[in-house]
Amino acid sequence: MTALPPKAELDGSSSGHNQGVFKAAIGGMRDFLSGLFGADGTPATALATMKLLDPQAVYNLSPVFTVDSNALTCTLKDRAGNDLGSGNAGFIGQRSATGGDGGFNLRAITANVALTISSGSTLGHASGAAGKIYWYLLDNAGAQVLAASSEFKGLAGRFSTTAEGGAGAADSGTALYAIAAHSNLPGRLIAVTTDTQTTAGTWVALPSLVQAAPFDQDIFFPAAAAFAGPGIKQGYGISNNVSDATNDIDIAAGKAVDSTGAVVMSGGAQTKRLDADWAPGSGNGGRYSGAAITNGTYHVWKIAKAGGADVDSYLDPSADVNTVLGHVQAESGGASYLYAWRIGSIMRESATLVPFVQIYDLFMRKTPILDVSAAGVGTSAVLRTLSVPAGLKVQAEFFAYYRNTSGSPDGCNMYFTDPDLTDLAPNMTLSPGTAPGGDGSTLDTRMGAVNFIYTNTSRQVRSRVGATGGSITLYMVTRGWRDPAIYRS
């Protein structure tokens, strides 16, 4: 590109300035502008000339939606909704088709581009429920291809498509559909719609919301959340239900990214019953129907269909996401649920739900429980079972103390560890250390401390007492547990 002439050659302030210098400067200015914007004054030439300045350019393009014969059609037209043509082109920057190539192409679109979602094709949506459709424009060696999916695939990249088929069989919530199948085409997100149909696959209602590039921040939230990793992003606190504290739990509204990082599951507040088999909706059963209600641990899951639609809650004894999804999909009305994330765990003891208070990832029993009262303990390691959730590792919070009831034990102290760590004897002066202790030379010596120790998946921590002589009784009172896995994988 020609350099911009010096200002002095244009305003006459340079020494020896004359008409020839001025004319040369004007010519240089013309060359500079034509190098920047092109010489013929058309948007196509200007955009093509400036394409290196804006690889994300989208110009004179807008999606137009129609429904006819129970089918939904998206047509890419100009920004006023008129047909594209050679004299009314749209433009879009598309990345190179070669992986690792940082270049891009500015594509001129001189004819409308369309895709029809045929009657009977659900895209994984459910009847009567709002679902998102992500519309992508792909670059097939210059020819533009419109594609759609109920799953967010990213803002740009290389994509493979499945043929829509036109026969009402495009029912996957994760496939990217186009008129024909393609492999590894570069492309980018061009629009996002929210659609609700009374009967899934019968397209009679136009989208209730259309968002086209450039997008508002909420379009980017699924990608940002996925990069941040699966987990609760907002809300979804759980608590005992006031009306039926024996069987019911309340779940606050919230947002969470599923275990795969694919979708954001955004749902309202719900109440779920442990004493009834799962059925979708607040106030209905929440329990896995394959097992009768019993004392023990129930993990609380948020579940969703394609695109994060129809978010619900599920109570399952399993802490494994794949097992849980298998259970959900076997339930009546659960076949379309594809995503899940565990938001906490509850316990049932003596035929009633344990009362608790949740503070972020900390779950405190409203009434602590004495789990261990072991007389005559020796110095060997023992696994102690606490009243915390089973099936996963949690950080148990418990108060532990010992009491010398006879004799004069020497060097009495306590040491608690995660069973997955190396078993070591307590030592008051060297590694690994010890909880508060004493020589216990006085009868009825008592020492105690609050401990925060990770359990194994069977609710156990390891205890060691360092003492010889006397009669030592160990007490462990469980106060609650911390469950950091609800926020991250």
Q: Is 471 helix (H, G, I), strand (E, B) or coil?
A: strand
Distance CA 278, CA 92 (A): 48
The model's pLDDT over 51-63, given as tens digits with 9 standing for 90+, comes to 545 567 788 899 9
List the helix and strand counts (H, then E) for the chain.
5, 31
SS (H, E, C) 399-449: EEEEEEEECCCEEEEEEEECCCCCCCCCCCCCCCCCCCCECCCCCCCEEEE
How does DSSP classify residue 322?
Answer: H
Q: How many CB atoms lie within 10 A of CB 431?
A: 6
8 A C-beta contact, residue 128 and residue 204: no
Q: Of the ranges 321-330, 409-418, 447-456, which one carries the lowest mean pLDDT score?
A: 409-418
Q: Is 26 helix (H, G, I), strand (E, B) or coil?
A: helix
8 A C-beta contact, residue 236 and residue 312: no
Q: Which pLDDT score, from 0 to 100, does residue 226 have?
A: 46
Q: Is 279 helix (H, G, I), strand (E, B) or coil?
A: coil
Q: Is 246 helix (H, G, I), strand (E, B) or coil?
A: coil
How long a stretch of residues is the chain? 489
Where is 174: in which H helix or E strand? none
Where is 325: in which H helix or E strand? helix 321-330
User: Which of the pair, 221 or 335, is modelled with greater confidence?
Assistant: 335
Give 351: exposed, middle or buried? Use CB within 10 Å, 0-12, 13-18, 19+. Answer: exposed
Q: Which pLDDT score, from 0 to 100, does residue 489 have?
A: 59
The model's pLDDT over 9-48, given as tens digits with 9 standing for 90+, comes to 666 666 666 777 777 777 777 777 776 666 777 777 766 6
- Beta-carbon contacts of residue 430 (< 8 Å; ≥ 6 apart): none
Percent of the chain's residues with pLDDT above 70:
82
How does DSSP classify residue 6?
Answer: P
The model's pLDDT over 92-124, given as tens digits with 9 standing for 90+, comes to 888 887 766 667 788 899 999 999 999 999 998
Q: How many CB atoms lie within 10 A of CB 465?
A: 26
Q: What are phi and psi of 226, to 5 degrees?
A: -65, -40
Q: Which of 119, 129, 122 is nearest to 149 (CA)?
A: 122
Distance CA 293, CA 274 (A): 7
Q: Over 50: is that where the pLDDT of 222 sits?
A: no
User: Which of the pair, 369 or 153, is modelled with greater confidence?
Assistant: 369
Q: Is 312 helix (H, G, I), strand (E, B) or coil?
A: strand
**What's the mean per-residue pLDDT of the chain?**
86
Tell me the pTM: 0.58
The model's pLDDT over 282-313, given as tens digits with 9 standing for 90+, comes to 999 999 999 899 999 999 999 999 888 999 99
